């Protein structure tokens, strides 16, 4: 066989070992050309007596990221992905998949079709299809339970979460893991397997540790509850559980039928739209060709919950961090918060013990602004008060290099007003992280009136480097997300004044697919934050905007939510419950307005909330605060719990 089979497939021989390299950049998706190339290589290798084994490897940064989603809306072309997998299992010579980067979805199915799998130690393997409203469709639900214990297969497929190479080796997915050159290791491994009897392909093996009927029923019930209405995880689990009672061909056919049903569903269409929307955020045409500033050292001002979360996130992603607090005592508390986040990452296997110690040793803190004088970028995360933030920026302007980027993590405040306290306001930007900052994926990148394009690009690139989703927003009260949330929170307040109860509203939102309801969410976030915002807005609030003062009265009583033991709900018993204080305040508000309470169905509650959400979202779009409707959907899904499988409020409105 010669070198260079096609523009996406390359095949060379190194002695008796053939090396097939997939080079379909940027992520080596298993497109039609890739699938055809692999099948041709299998057949040619079988016919070539000089080839004793074949290594399948990816060029660039990754192995195979999965199927080519762009082909989903086209007529399918043979060879189908499942045919590629079956051809690999039927090959007469050993095939070894060599995995670096990630083997995801169809990429992992191709790897499972090979006789052996080896990987670099930092590689990851997974089936993320449920996140697109799908499930494996080329044998994943059939082959994985024959490779690992069924409980592990269920965990991987129904959650969509990948496993790292060492874990995959322990579970039985991989044959070997290496720290060194993957290609050299794989070729040597293949040379050792050449001429040996082929292992029994996964398609002919039995399911490993199948669940009992009772275990299966419990798993299904728990997953239905956890999925909040999303179909794909439940259908995937039902398919896996059917596998032990079916032959391989029957099981693969059942999997394919379920895959096609999910692919045609509205939920999958919504999730796929959201997937592409998330990939396109931050891609502003006016920033084309503009390179970001170099950022290596970051300062964080404020070590509370948000500041420590931001600092830990930056540390985990390779940035040098200096955190500034107001006192030595506050500094120690901030350090403790950061260490707790890093410790949790170590416990979950995301970082090694040596990495943990390296990060904690590298983390610096101070009470002196001069400590960040040489930082490339600083993120202010102090209390949500305009004057306090303006004073911080005045001090930053005095202390830092004139080319450093100054960012505010404000949730509501006018970043233009903050920028006025800096001589060169073009270097000021908003970076609104969501709490907890080390977990939440969304960052609103606030575009001020005077920000330099290179500074805006730097903010977007920084968010991406932290594995966040950057959404550019114009300046207004609350930006995109909090402005829309404030609108439907007001509508929820009106609903309880008119007769609904907070727990009815929350239940309707959970039934719709939100993980928690709006009143639960306020208690979790802390009622005092929104209270401060409402007091600030009181002088300029338009008279035509109705206002229910129930939350204000709760705050006046010191009921700030979970952190004080009570808010909309009372948490003293460990279970959130409405108490007489809340019921009495609601009754007082109704009496003051001469309102006779009425009853609402869950559908009526959600219609009101969605109308308020979509109406405000449309105004945000019309005013140019949001770049496009898709950005709004990304914000609501990633920052406010809007069910991803519904696509977002704008997707629902426009469908």
What is the DSSP code string of 396-431? Answer: HHHHS-TTSEEEE--SSS-HHHHHTTSSSGGGEEEE
Pick the CATH number of 481-624 from 2.60.120.260, 3.40.50.2000, 3.40.140.10, 1.10.1040.50: 1.10.1040.50
Residue 109 catalytic? Answer: yes
DSSP string, 122-185: T-EEE-GGGGGT----SSHHHHGGGTSBHHHHHHHHHH---EEHHHHHHHTS-SEEESS-HHHH
d(CA 500, CA 492): 9
DSSP 8-class letter at 499: T
- Cβ atoms 165, 121 nearer than 8 A: yes
Domain with CATH 3.40.50.720 in the chain: 285-473
How confident is the model at residue 546, as a pLDDT? 60
d(CA 301, CA 434): 16
Average pLDDT (65-90) is 86
Pick the CATH number of 285-473 from 3.40.50.2300, 3.40.50.720, 3.30.70.100, 3.20.20.10: 3.40.50.720
Residue 556 catalytic? Answer: no
d(CA 91, CA 634): 44
User: Rg for the chain (alpha carbons), in Å?
Assistant: 28
Give the fold, CATH level 3, of 9-263: 2-enoyl-CoA Hydratase; Chain A, domain 1 (3.90.226)
Point out the catalytic residue in the list 71, 83, 87, 129: 129
pLDDT digits (tens, 9 = 90+) for 450-503: 999 999 999 999 999 999 999 999 999 999 999 999 999 999 999 999 999 999
Burial of 354 (0-12, 13-18, 19+ CB in 10 A): exposed
Least confident of 283-297, 542-556, 631-645: 542-556
Point out the catalytic residue in the list 71, 83, 87, 109: 109
Under the banding of pLDDT at 50, 70 and 90, the label for residue 118 is very high
Write down how long the chain is: 655
Comparing C-alpha atoms, which of 409, 320, 414 is closest to residue 361? 320
Helix (H), strand (E) at residue 58: strand 53-58
Angle between helices 502-512 and 481-498 (to 10 degrees): 130
Domain with CATH 3.90.226.10 in the chain: 9-263
Contacts of 121 (CB under 8 A, 6+ apart): 164, 165, 166, 177, 178, 179
Average pLDDT (290-306) is 96
Domain with CATH 1.10.1040.50 in the chain: 481-624
d(CA 568, CA 582): 7
Q: Where are the beta strands (DSSP E) in 305-402?
A: 320-324, 364-366, 377-380
d(CA 487, CA 499): 19
pLDDT digits (tens, 9 = 90+) for 212-256: 999 999 999 999 999 989 999 999 999 999 999 888 889 999 999
- Cβ atoms 103, 125 nearer than 8 A: yes
């Amino acid at each position: 066989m010669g070198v260079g089979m096609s523009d996406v497939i390359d095949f060379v021989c190194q002695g008796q070992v053939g090396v097939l390299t997939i080079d379909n950049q940027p992520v080596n998706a298993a497109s039609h050309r890739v699938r055809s190339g692999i099948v041709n290589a299998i057949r040619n290798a079988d016919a070539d007596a000089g080839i004793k084994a074949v290594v399948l490897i990816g060029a660039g940064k990754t192995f195979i990221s999965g199927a080519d989603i762009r082909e989903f809306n086209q007529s399918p072309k043979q060879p189908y992905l499942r045919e590629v997998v079956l051809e690999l299992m039927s090959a007469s010579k050993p095939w070894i998949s060599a995995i670096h980067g990630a083997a995801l979805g169809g990429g992992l199915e191709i790897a499972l079709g090979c006789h052996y799998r080896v990987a670099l130690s930092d590689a990851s393997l997974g089936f993320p299809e449920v996140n697109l409203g799908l499930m494996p469709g080329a044998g994943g639900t059939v082959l994985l339970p024959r490779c690992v214990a069924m409980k592990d297969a269920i965990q991987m497929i129904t959650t969509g979460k990948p496993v790292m190479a060492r874990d995959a080796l322990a579970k039985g997915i991989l044959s070997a893991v290496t720290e060194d050159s993957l290609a050299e290791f794989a070729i040597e491994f293949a040379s050792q397997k050449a001429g040996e009897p082929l292992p029994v392909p996964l398609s002919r093996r039995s399911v490993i540790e199948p669940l009992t009927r009772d275990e299966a029923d419990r798993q299904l019930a728990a997953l239905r509850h956890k999925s909040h209405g999303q179909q794909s995880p439940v259908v995937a689990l039902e398919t896996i559980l059917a596998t032990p009672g079916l032959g391989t061909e029957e099981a693969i056919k059942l999997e394919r039928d379920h895959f096609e049903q999910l692919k045609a569903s509205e939920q999958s269409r919504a999730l796929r739209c959201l997937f592409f929307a998330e990939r396109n955020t931050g891609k502003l045409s006016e920033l084309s060709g503009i390179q970001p500033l170099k950022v290596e050292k970051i300062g964080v001002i404020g070590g509370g919950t948000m500041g420590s979360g931001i600092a830990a996130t930056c540390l985990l992603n390779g940035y040098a961090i200096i955190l500034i607090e107001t006192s030595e005592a506050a500094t120690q508390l901030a350090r403790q918060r950061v260490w707790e986040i890093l410790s949790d990452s170590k416990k979950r296997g995301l970082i090694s013990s040596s990495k943990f110690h390296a990060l904690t040793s590298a983390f610096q803190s101070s009470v002196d602004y001069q400590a960040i004088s040489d930082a490339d970028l600083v993120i202010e995360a102090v209390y949500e008060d305009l004057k306090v933030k303006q004073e911080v920026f005045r001090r930053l302007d005095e202390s830092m290099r004139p080319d450093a980027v100054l960012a505010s993590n404000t949730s509501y405040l006018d970043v233009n007003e903050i920028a006025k306290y800096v001589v060169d306001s073009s270097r000021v930007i908003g970076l609104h992280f969501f709490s907890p900052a080390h977990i939440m994926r969304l960052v609103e990148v606030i575009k001020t009136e005077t920000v330099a394009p290179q500074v805006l690009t730097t903010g977007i690139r920084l968010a991406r480097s932290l594995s966040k989703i950057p959404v550019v927003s114009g300046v207004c009260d609350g930006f995109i997300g909090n402005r829309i949330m404030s609108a439907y929170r007001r509508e929820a307040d009106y609903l309880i004044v008119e007769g609904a109860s907070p727990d009815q509203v929350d239940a309707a939102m959970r039934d719709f697919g939100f993980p928690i309801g709006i009143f639960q969410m306020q208690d979790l976030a802390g009622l005092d934050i929104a209270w401060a915002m409402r007091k600030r807005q009181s002088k300029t609030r338009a008279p035509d905007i109705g206002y229910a003062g129930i939350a204000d009265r709760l705050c006046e009583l010191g009921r700030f939510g979970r952190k004080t033991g009570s808010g909309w709900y009372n948490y003293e018993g460990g279970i959130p419950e409405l108490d007489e204080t809340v019921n009495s305040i609601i009754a007082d508000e109704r009496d003051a307005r001469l309102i006779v309470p009425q009853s609402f169905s869950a559908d009526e509650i959600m219609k009101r909330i969605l109308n308020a959400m979509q109406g405000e979202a449309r105004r945000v779009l019309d005013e140019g605060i949001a770049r496009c409707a898709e950005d709004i959907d990304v914000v609501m899904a990633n920052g406010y719990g809007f069910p991803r499988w519904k696509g977002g409020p704008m997707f629902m409105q426009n469908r």
